[in-house]
Amino acid sequence: MIYLDNSATTKPDMEVLNSFRQVAEQFYANPSSIHQIGGQSEKLLYKARTQAAQILHVAPEEIIFTSGGTEANNMAIKGVAAQYYNRGKHIIISEIEHPSVYDTCQTLEKFGFEITYLPVDKNGVVSVDDVEKAIREDTILISVMHVNNEIGSVQPIKEIGQVASKHPKLFFHVDNVQGFGKVPLDIKACQIDFCTISAHKIHGLRGNGILYMNKTKKLAPLLSGGNQEFGKRSGTENLAGIVSMVKAMRLIDRRQQAELMHLRKLGSYLYDKLQKMEGVELNSPMQPLGAPHIINFSAPGLKPEVVIHALGEKGIFISTKSACSSKQLDDSRIVAACGYDSQRSSSALRVSLSYENNQEEIDIFLKELKTAISYLKEVMG
């Protein structure tokens, strides 16, 4: 099997699985319980929070554990909206945000918020000038993702952070679900107020995520109850999930430091080969405007699901659009936003790599892709 759908989810690392099982078996007590074994769970939770903070170079009290990226994005956007609606009801995002940001903002529009959807260029990159020009007196939030989940475009987060910092009454949120561990991002240097990470994109388990929240900022919690997570996210903590996620963070951080050049070379190799392949049109920008691990391309005239199934029969697995919307057979909103026509946006395919992949796998994929395209076009006449 050749798995090239790592932006949808990654295979859990065996060390992560072992960590989950060990904590679930030995530290099953509620961290909020005042007895001794509850105290042991509480200490382990604190240790995991501290380790996560060290990896992100932030303070432990700035780490809010969530059920994943979608909850963390909702928490940041709706939390700011609910906390500061008296200050203003204007939010700025890009046209290519993940559904957990894009759809959340569309929901807020029903409650009287005004959303500015910034365009992107052909590389899928937002203009910093456009961001600055969009800011108004009533703007309370800018939300721009670091790495796009479909085409891999990398946004100028540091520059946007500099613009946002000139306006102390607005906040800057970054969805870093696809970037963490593959495209370095310095949260503090980029002056980010809220930042999202998901465990299952980094060989962790589904159902775990983090919202980094600058300790000087406030937001209204989505969940009320037991006042866990500094009162920002009530609910008994998923201790086994949290500890295993932090294990995954430590492992991916180590791999990023040691193997990022391997991933970049592999991505460049794949990009170059696809660029030369007949019947293929690339939708992703080259590095460094594009991330090394996400490459989107179209096979105009062919339905993406047909290509995916043809490759799947050979044990090769890629995807179309984001996993959250891949079963919707309409055009890719992201590819269309880059200015490509319906023929391109309706035939878009995504290959997403991990540190586990190698050139031999890429060569096999390229060979089978070429065969599949040739065969399908011949059949369709």
Annotated active-site positions, please? 324
Catalogue the E-assigned strands of 134-223.
139-143, 171-175, 194-198, 209-213
User: Distance (Å, rounded) from C-alpha 349 to C-alpha 301?
Assistant: 13
User: Distance (Å, rounded) from C-alpha 182 to C-alpha 204?
Assistant: 15
Pair 153, 284: CB distance under 8 Å: yes
User: Distance (Å, rounded) from C-alpha 361 to C-alpha 354?
Assistant: 12
Catalogue the E-assigned strands of the chain.
2-3, 63-66, 90-94, 114-118, 139-143, 171-175, 194-198, 209-213, 281-282, 294-298, 316-317, 348-352
User: Distance (Å, rounded) from C-alpha 22 to C-alpha 165?
Assistant: 43
The answer for residues whose C-beta is within 8 angstroms of residue 272's C-beta and 6 or more apart is none
